[in-house]
Amino acid sequence: MNNDKTLAAASAAFPIVGIGASAGGLTALEQFLAHVPPQCGLAVVVVQHRDPHSEGMLVELLQRHTPMPVLQALDQMPVEPEHVYVIPPGWDLSLMHGVLHLFEPTETRGLRQPIDFFFKSLADDRQHNSIGVILSGMGSDGTLGLRAIRQAGGASFAQTPATAQFDSMPRSAIDADVVDAVAPADELPAKIIAFVKRIRLVGDVQAQVEAEFQRTAASFLDKILVLLCTHTGHDFSAYKKNTIMRRVERRMGLHQLPRIDDYLRYVRENPKEIELLLGELLIGVTSFFRDTEVWEQVKTEVLPALRANHPDGALLRAWIPACSTGEETYSLAMLFRESLDDAKPAQRYKLLIFASDLDKDAIARARAGVYPESISADVSAARLKRFFTPEAAGYRVSNEIREMVIFAEQNVIVDPPFTRIDLLSCRNLLIYLEAGLQERLLQLFHYSLAPGGYLLLGSSESVGAASALFSGLPGRSRIYRRLDVPTPALPSGMPSFGQTGSRLAAMAPAGQGASVSTPDVQARVEQLVLTQYAPAAVLVNNKGEMLYFSGKTGKYLEPAVGKPNLNLFVMARDGLKQALGEAFYRAVRENRSATLRRVRIDSARPAQHVDVVVQPLSEPVALSGTALIVFRDVPAPGPRRPRVAMDTVASEGQRVAVVLQELQHAREDARSTREEMQTSQEELKSTNEELQSTNEELQATNEELTTSKEEMQSMNEELQIINNELRLKVAEVSRASNDMRNLLDSTEIAILFLDDDLKVRRFMPSTAKLFKLIPGDAGRTITDIVCDLDYADLAADARDVLRTLVFKETDVSATDGRWFRVRIMPYRTQDNRIDGLVMTFADISASKRLEVELRQAQARLQALAAGSGSEGLGHGLP
């Protein structure tokens, strides 16, 4: 009920889009946000790899490309639709109940996975309303987070790697098969909005499917299950209908199909969709050391108890059905190895893990044992160093752990199970199955477990009706111990557990035809002599591998049972094998011929005696390094005469001498063998020490390279964002400079900038009309430059302004009759520091002309007025 309420609350909430990118993904972010409509009903959270010590301008830069408000995320900030939130530098971001929470990172820089951290919380909080997007970036951060979003029923998108400035992050997600759609950054918003419109019809679609399921026996879901069974051979009829319905509805949303009939038609027309739907149903919910408390209890309680059941040592067996991509399997193997290291005294225990799954692609990835760098969020640094090998693609599981696991494709419902199992871990499989099938599988697990074995289930699972077969361990973990009771009779549909099948591949040697030519008489005679009179022989290399047969060697050699093997010592018949091996290695070591006399071949009836000559070859050069083994039949020794009293003492002495000679030869062989073993042991010890030293050096070099790579990657990302910021700053400065130039040109005011020593620093082009200035005059004193102004006190006034910091303004005439208003002001910087002078020269010739004309007109008026007054005064006289 609680899960249903959670799902209902999540479905009623608005979708949240989480975007993951590195510092070099600014361009992709701008392209994405520029195509998101402001009335989309979505909230966008941007998680970027950023320098924790850099303030940055990401919020300001993104705000220029979207009308939606762009905010830097704060702790406990509620998420609102049609807003963009940006992670602050140096923090991890999480989401719970629609509220953002900031956490101080626990991992060192370079090992952090902030995108995975947020995506996982987004999947938990929003369920099918969670949307993950991976844009340009370096590394593999975000891959595990997208898997969590898909498992929760959400949608995952990635930028097309070819359009990304750094394609590592989107390519990692695509290679992990956790991406629903791939498109350029500017096309992703349209795909996301189409998906959101589809998921808003969840209730209507479920009601339609429910009504159709109730109305007709051949319902929509039944048809889908039939198609799945027909094309894949797997029957999902015992899976929970709600689970299948959610997966089907998600596929409908991705294809933008509004009606279930449309999707059914699409499935029939596109068989590839069946494979994709199968992948949706088989999505594995797994990660390394998921539910830490469970694994801690396995390490501290379960594994010690299993060792206690076998105090003399044993081969422990574990089975993990539905192992997915192998994270849980390798987690158990690592725990077992650590548990053995803690056990004192060390005892002889081994663990063999059978890991099976229905998904062949997941099994293939598990066998490869290669995982992205983002697993560092789940695996400690000590375990990464001990159990993994760094590679370009991420981390590869070490051979020490890999050799403990056998992966197999298996349908746990119908295929025969593994038996005599000490630990069986089946987590998060039963929750997808109907109650009847759950009970059958629990009975199967009881049958598979050895007495005293343990069963590990997921946090949402329990033994339920099979509680009589298992006893739970104390604690919240779902760990059960097998009770020693008879396994109930299983339904007839289950497999016959007493039988196991195996497929053996037979390998037959391919026939090789020999070309036959027509020989001449000499060749025929030589062939006849070799066949009839020459002894049988075989040519071998220094390892005993046969290169050529001459004559009939079947009396001395015979093929071994099994895979064809042309080794001399494997094919030698009984009685010949040991003696031939000693003679061969002695001859090769000493580079001289060795002969064996009257060797008895026991497998022949009657017994055959043969002399064997081992001849190392050095000539011709083509045969150098090989040896020729020649077999010559000799008659069997005659029957021994009965011992009589007349035997002489001499014959007894001869027999004793022969025995002593054979004993001496045996001692020499033993001494030679012992010397060879000692020499080989010393050489191996020296080689091992060199290899250990080389391995340590390589490990140190690898760690240094890994650290350097992380630092370079981080520095490169920082440089990218700084470069973007500087590029925008330069564009702003250039635009401001153009505005200022146009403004000054429009005023037609000449401007001259001087430093504290009255040297020319910069000038406007119009200033060159007053002062004879050229670009090379920068740095010259203003008094050394010819000026058209009649302003002798220019330098004195300039120094006075520098001294008093009070501007001066005066009108000055030029040699050509023009007038200029000269204004001398101090040059102030932004920090209020005086750094020279600014002189402006405004052309006031027009106003001066008007002033002169005004004065002349005024004088004429005054003269007229004066003339009129004197005339009137004259007329008034008597």
Place of tokens 């929470």: 101
Residue 873 phi, psi dihedral angles, 5° rounding: -65, -35
C-alpha angle 98/101/105, rounded to 5°? 145
Residue 398 half-sphere exposure toward CB, CA atoms < 13 A: 13
| Single-letter amino acid code for the residue at 472 | G
Say which DSSP state 572 is in: B
Q: Looking at the DSSP assignment, which residues form a beta bridge with residue 821?
A: 811, 842
Q: b or e along 446-475 (b: 16 or more beta carbons within 10 Å of the residue's beta carbon)?
A: bbbbbeebbbbbbeebbbeebeebbeebee
Among candidate residues 22, 94, 172, 714, the one labeled active-site is 22
Q: Looking at the DSSP assignment, which residues form a beta bridge with residue 315?
A: 350
Between the alpha carbon of residue 134 and those of residues 69, 308, 855, the distances in Å are: 22, 49, 79
Residue 345, preceding bond cis, omega within 30 degrees?
Answer: yes
Cα gap 867→855, rounded to integer Å: 18
Cα gap 239→433, rounded to integer Å: 4
Between the alpha carbon of residue 257 and those of residues 216, 220, 267, 846, the distances in Å are: 22, 15, 11, 77
Cα gap 253→111, rounded to integer Å: 35
* Other CB atoms within 10 A of residue 147 CB: 29
Say which DSSP state 557 is in: B
Q: Is 498 exposed, middle or buried (0-12, 13-18, 19+ CB in 10 A)?
A: exposed
Among candidate residues 116, 125, 141, 378, the one labeled active-site is 141
Mode of pairing for the β-strands spanning 536-540 and 479-482: unpaired
Between the alpha carbon of residue 874 and those of residues 114, 837, 878, the distances in Å are: 107, 63, 9
Beta strands in 760-818 (DSSP E): 760-763, 808-813
Query: What residues have CB less than 8 Å from 90, skipping those under 6 apart?
Result: 50, 52, 53, 105
C-alpha angle 613/619/623, rounded to 5°? 80
| Single-letter amino acid code for the residue at 247 | R
Q: b or e along 784-802 (b: 16 or more beta carbons within 10 Å of the residue's beta carbon)?
A: eeebbbebeebeebbeebb
Place of tokens 């109305």: 215
- Percentages helix, strand, coil for the chain (3-state, rounded to 5) are 45, 20, 35
- Short-list 402, 380, 194, 397, CA closest to 296: 380
Q: Looking at the DSSP assignment, which residues form a beta bridge with residue 628?
A: 539, 615
Say which DSSP state 550 is in: E
- The answer to whether 163 touches 169, Cβ cutoff 8 Å, is no
- Short-list 74, 69, 122, CA closest to 94: 122
Q: What is the 3-state secondary structure (H, E, C) of 811-863?
A: EEEECCCCEEEEEEEEEECCCCCEEEEEEEEEECHHHHHHHHHHHHHHHHHHH
Residue 101: active-site member: no
Mode of pairing for the β-strands spanning 99-103 and 77-78: antiparallel
Cα gap 553→536, rounded to integer Å: 6
Q: For residue 222, what are its two tokens? A: 């039944």
Cα gap 229→411, rounded to integer Å: 13
Residue 167 phi, psi dihedral angles, 5° rounding: -100, 5
Residue 49: active-site member: yes
Among candidate residues 49, 128, 446, 609, the one labeled active-site is 49
- The answer to whether 309 touches 452, Cβ cutoff 8 Å, is yes
How far separated are the first and last CA of the chain, in Å rounded? 130
Residue 624: active-site member: no
Tell me the catalytic residues: 22, 49, 141
